[in-house]
Amino acid sequence: MNQPLILIIEDEEALRRFLVPTLTSQRYQVLSAATASEGLAMARSHNPDLVLLDLGLPDRDGMAVLQELRSWSRKPVVILSARNQERDKVRALDQGADDYLAKPFGAAELLARLRVALRHTLQADVEDPVVCGGGLRIDLGRREVTLEGQAIKLTALDYRLLEALIRRNGKVATHGQLLAEVWGPGGAGNTHYLRIYMAMLRRKLEADPTRPKQFITEPGVGYRLDLDARGD
Ligand code: CA
């Protein structure tokens, strides 16, 4: 099978010099652009499988690039953001970006995120609705959760939150996305609901709830579920 084509839109030359060989060494096909207009033109002509998008570009705001990409493509977009740009990250995720990498990041983190982003997100009606990892087994069809073979009792809201995280398939979910999916319009702004229910899920499902490995907090942004992390 052909390796996925990745388009990098990033004006920082040093970062492109790191990204291009790192990705080509993993046999990804790589295109890179230093401006928003060049990047959008390449996206249209090559229809890449994934776009790595810097938010701070010289000619146009990266957010505008994201909106334009999303007007015609559902392919994954991973944001490259400077630290202390939590609000921008959240906005980008809420507007359809799949994930983000906070600069500086290493090769291992980059490659892990790309693998997750390139994985297909679970659909509502998957053929095999059973998800396993790190001792957990979640049967989405039967709404059954077991940990090391033991049935775990979850409340309806616990379960809905767990399911919302599972459907992200390892990608980050923003506070706003989770609140809307679990509590509906009434949840907007109530991030403390999330803290409470996340603590509950960790207590029931993490090996050590005080040092969570699977239910990961992304500070200022949201949460992600890494089911396979328990065995580390
Ligand atoms: Ca930049």
Asked whether residue 231 is domain-assigned, the answer is no
| 121, 145, 180 - which closes a domain | 121
Q: What's the CA-to-centroid distance between 55 and ligand 1, angstroms? A: 6
The alpha carbon of 223 and the centre of ligand 1 are apart by a number of angstroms equal to 25
Distance CA 124, CA 121 (A): 10
Distance 135 CA to ligand 1 centre (A): 41
- Do 42 and 138 have their domain in common? no
pLDDT of residue 186: 84
How much is the pLDDT for 1? 52
Domain's final residue, options 71, 99, 121: 121
Q: Which residues keep their CB under 5 angstroms from ion ligand 1?
A: 11, 54, 56
User: CA-to-CA distance for 166 and 160, rounded, in angstroms?
Assistant: 10
Closest CA to 180 of 192, 189, 172: 189
Ligand 1 centroid, distance to 53 Cα (angstroms)? 9
Residue 113 lies in a domain: yes
Residues 156 and 184 in one domain: yes
What is the count of structural domains for the chain?
2
pLDDT of residue 128: 65
Q: Are 78 and 99 in contact (CB under 8 A)?
A: yes
Please tell me the predicted confidence (pLDDT) of residue 124: 45
Does 203 lie in the same domain as 106? no
Per-residue pLDDT of the chain (232 residues; tens, 9 = 90+): 568 999 999 999 999 999 999 999 998 999 999 999 999 999 999 999 999 999 999 999 999 999 999 999 989 999 998 867 788 889 999 999 999 999 999 999 999 999 989 986 554 445 668 888 888 999 988 889 999 999 999 998 999 999 999 988 889 999 999 999 999 888 888 999 999 999 999 999 998 899 999 999 999 999 999 988 865 5
Instruction: Tell me how far the alpha carbon of residue 41 lies from the centroid of ligand 1, in angstroms.
Output: 18
93 and 131 in one domain?
no
Compute the distance from residue 58 Cα to the ligand 1 centre, in Å. 7
Residue of 166, 182, 104, 154 lying closest to 130 (CA atoms): 166
Report if residue 230 sits inside a domain.
Answer: no
Say how many Å lie between the CA of residue 157 and the centre of ligand 1.
Answer: 40
Q: Which CATH number does the domain housing residue 32 bear?
A: 3.40.50.2300
Residue at 143 is within a domain: yes
Domain that holds residue 161: 124-225
Q: Residue 47 Cα, ligand 1 centroid: separation in angstroms? A: 22
Task: Verify that 82 and 147 share a domain, yes or no.
Answer: no
Q: What is the pLDDT at residue 86?
A: 81
- Residues 208, 102 share a domain: no
CB atoms within 10 A of CB 120: 8
Q: Say which DSSP state 85 is in.
A: -
Q: What is the pLDDT of residue 31?
A: 97
Domain contains 203: yes
- If you search the block for the tokens 């609000």, which residue do you land on? 87
Where residue 208 sits, what CATH number does that domain have?
A: 1.10.10.10
111 and 52 within one domain: yes
